[in-house]
Amino acid sequence: MASTPPGRGDGVRRRPKDRKAQIARASAEAFSLLGYHGVSMDAIAARVGISAAALYRHYTGKYELFRDAVLALGQQLVDATAFVDEFTPESTPDDPRETLDHLATALCDTALANRDSGGLYRWEARYLRGDDQATLDSQIRTVHRRFQQPLRALRPELDSRQRWTLSTAMISVLGSIVDHRAKLPAGQIRPLLAELVVTLVHAEFPTLSEAPDPPVSAAPARRSKYEALLVESMRLFNQKGYRDTSMEDIATAVGMPASGIYRYFSGKSDILAGVFRRSADRWSAEMSAILDSTADREEALTRLIDGHVARSFSEPELDYVYYTERLNMSAADQQILRNLQRSTVETWADLVVTLRPEWTAGQARFAVYAAMAVTIDLGRLVRYRNSPYSRALVAGMMDLTLLGRYRLRTVLPAK
């Protein structure tokens, strides 16, 4: 008679050796999919196939799981790029572009391996506390410094701030794949994103004023209650976070009783969805007007770029709140907004493929998502200072990402 393998048929249930790794993967994916507040210990236990009691043998609570998941992702970025620090004078590539290409490939592979959870460190890390947030910040700074090493050789004239700008744009391009679910074979994603990263090496920095534009005249005193609810809600969601903003807070900001909000919206989630639907409708109308009035496809694309940048800097809370709070909307509203976003990306990609015939439609879509991620991350880097310099900087980075070069533009004299 054949002997019974250990752990099978002996009535003893063996704990898998990689149980903690299974928990880490499951929790990272759950937090990324549902957000910090949308995940429970029971839900993670169910994903792993164990009881909540068994999960508590490994972790004291949800925050510890969350912290480990975020910092583990950050550490993967550090580990993937560690080879740069191991170079010796003899082993350092003669061409720094080779180092940059290796960095791009390493970070792209890491993002692809964590595509279902990579958004966690980008959008949910705000829930980290104290030293944990400092640890993540240190991890990200380490990755930036490694990208800046070949940049020093390729662009020795750049100052520290400019190098940080370029490394931010490059890492944004590579990280953009965790923000969407467009399909493309990995063998095409790697060279495409590496190409975009190398193109950004040649970025120029505007010689324009960095002073913010003069403030726009105050909003009309008799703004409708509906409009006021949308505007003030978004301001509070951006400032305090969706979870920490109450209906009473919104009502106070608008100057009405909380009960009055329900004449217009069924609740906070409905307000959140309403803001994004209205913004999507306005941007769709603006894009249609540009496309209908512009025969030249490069001019149409660059007008879309300028409009996108202007919108991002005039209403910076829209993109940030979308990525950080969209999980608080109903599943149906989330799907509608994803469909609207895809429609926008398709419109841009249709223009891009006529200007970059070497790209497929799928590659053009990935490039559009990358360009839009650059807008968000550079906007956050410059704190959305709405100045001619900031807008020209970001628009130029989008030009490079989508066109591979700068458009012909009039350079304004510095103020």
Which of the pair, 310 or 11, is modelled with greater confidence?
A: 310
User: What angle do helix axes 62-80 and 41-48 make, rounded to 10 degrees?
Assistant: 60
- pLDDT, tens digit, 9 for 90 and up, residues 184-196: 999 999 999 999 9
Mean per-residue pLDDT of the chain = 90
Write down the residue that tokens 């217009």 correspond to: 264
Rounded to two decimals, the pTM is: 0.89
| Angle (nearest 5°) at CA 174 between 240 and 400 | 100
Q: Using 50, 70 and 90 to split pLDDT, how confident is the model at 20? A: confident
pLDDT tens per residue, range 351-382: 999 999 999 999 999 999 999 999 999 999 99
- Is residue 4's pLDDT more than 70? no
Identify the CATH homologous superfamily for domain 225-403: Tetracycline Repressor, domain 2 (1.10.357.10)
Asked if pLDDT for residue 238 goes beyond 80, the answer is: yes
CATH for 19-200? 1.10.357.10
**320-333 tens-digit pLDDT:** 899 889 889 999 99
What is the per-residue pLDDT for 80? 97
Q: Which residues contact 233 (CB under 8 A, 6 or more apart)?
A: 245, 250, 268, 271, 272, 275
| Residue 116 token pair | 């279902």
Return residue ranges of the chain for CATH 1.10.357.10.
Answer: 19-200, 225-403
Give the list of residues 6+ apart from residue 293 with CB closer than 8 angstroms, or none. Answer: none
Which pLDDT value is given to residue 219? Answer: 47
Digit-coded pLDDT (tens) for 138-184: 999 999 999 999 999 999 999 999 999 999 999 999 999 999 999 99
Whole-angstrom distance, CA of residue 409 vs CA of residue 396: 10
For residue 368, CA distances in Å to 255, 288, 344 come to: 41, 18, 10
pLDDT at 408: 64
Q: Exposed, middle or buried: residue 370 (CB in 10 Å: 0-12, 13-18, 19+)?
A: buried
pLDDT of residue 89: 80
Query: Which residue would you say has higher pLDDT here, 297 or 35?
Result: 297
> Six-digit token pair at 357?
């015939």
Residue 248 confidence (pLDDT): 96
Question: Which residues, including other chains, have CB under 8 Å from residue 243's CB and lie 6 or more apart?
Answer: 37, 328
Residue 96: pLDDT above 50?
Answer: yes
Please state the separation of Cα 254 from the chain's center in Å: 31
37-46 pLDDT, tens digit each: 889 999 999 9
